[in-house]
Chains A and B, each alone.
Chain A
Amino acid sequence: DAGITQSPRYKITETGRQVTLMCHQTWSHSYMFWYRQDLGHGLRLIYYSAAADITDKGEVPDGYVVSRSKTENFPLTLESATRSQTSVYFCASIPLTRGQGNEQYFGPGTRLTVT
C-alpha cells in the first residue's frame, strides 16, 4: 500500500526557473490538496481539486499552476520560481465521502529551495 508519494523530496532551483512538484496517490481519493508550510504560518492551502479536471484556488495561489488530468496525480508547477517560494510543500488527499476515521492523508513533503 504505497499511499501518497511526492517527488522530488528535495529540490534546489534558481530564481526564474520553472519547477514541477509531483504528487501521486494510490487510493483513488477524489480530493487532492497542495499546501506549503513556512515557519510561523503553519500549513497554507495553495490549490485543491475535487476530482479530475476540477481545481480551485486556496489561500496562496499566486505564482502556482495545477492540473489534474488523472485522479491519482496532482502536479504543482511554479511557473517562474521566486525566493519567497522557498518552502516545504505537502500534498494531501481525502476520499469523497466524509467518514469517522482518518481524514486528510499527507505525503512526506518536498523541500524546495529557490536561490
Chain B
Amino acid sequence: QKEVEQDPGPLSVPEGAIVSLNCTYSNSAFQYFMWYRQYSRKGPELLMYTYSSGNKEDGRFTAQVDKSSKYISLFIRDSQPSDSATYLCACDTGRRALTFGSGTRLQVQP
C-alpha cells in the first residue's frame, strides 16, 4: 500500500466551479503537507504548504489538513481553464524528502 493515496482522475469541471482535490496518507510521522501543480512537460511548482493540521488560504486556493483522519484537501474556487494541470499532494516527516501522491489530472472546461 502506498503511503500517500490520491485519485488519479481525470476530473473535469466547468469554468467557475469549486474544485475539491483530496489525498489520504498512512504515515503518522508526516508533519508537513504540500500541494504542487504540474503542467504538461513541466516540473512541479509549489502551490500550498501547511504544517500540521489546519487550514491555509492563498487567493483562490485553500489547503486543509486533518491529521486525525490522515486526510488532506485542496480547494480551488472560481476555477479557470488555466488551472488545468495535474495536482500532486506531498507529505514530509521533517527530513525534507517528500512522499508524493500519484497526482490528479484536472480539466477546467471553458
Contacts and interface: CB of A to CB of B under 8 A. Distances in A.
Interface residues of A, number: 27
B88 A31 contact: no
A59 B4 CA distance: 13
Contact of A45 (B34, B42, B97): B97
B97 A102 contact: no
Interface stretch (B11-19, B44-52, B73-81): B44-52
A54 to B, nearest CB: 12
A43 B44 contact: yes
A43 B88 contact: yes
B104 to A, nearest CB: 10
A23 to B, nearest CB: 11
A42 B34 contact: no
B105 to A, nearest CB: 11
B9 interface: no
Contact of A31 (B8, B96, B99): B96
B49 A106 contact: no
B101 A42 contact: yes
Contact of A100 (B45, B49, B90): B49
Contacts of A92: 43
Interface string B1-34: 0001010100000000000000000000000101
Interface residues of B, number: 22
B53 interface: no
Interface string B84-97: 00001010000011
| Residue in B45, B46, B96 whose Cβ sees the most chain A Cβ within 10 Å | B96
Contacts of A43: 44, 88, 90, 98, 100
B109 interface: no
Given A35-B100, A45-B98, A106-B43, 14 more contacts: A33-B97, A40-B102, A42-B100, A42-B101, A43-B88, A44-B100, A58-B97, A92-B43, A102-B46, A104-B34, A104-B98, A106-B44, A106-B45, A108-B43
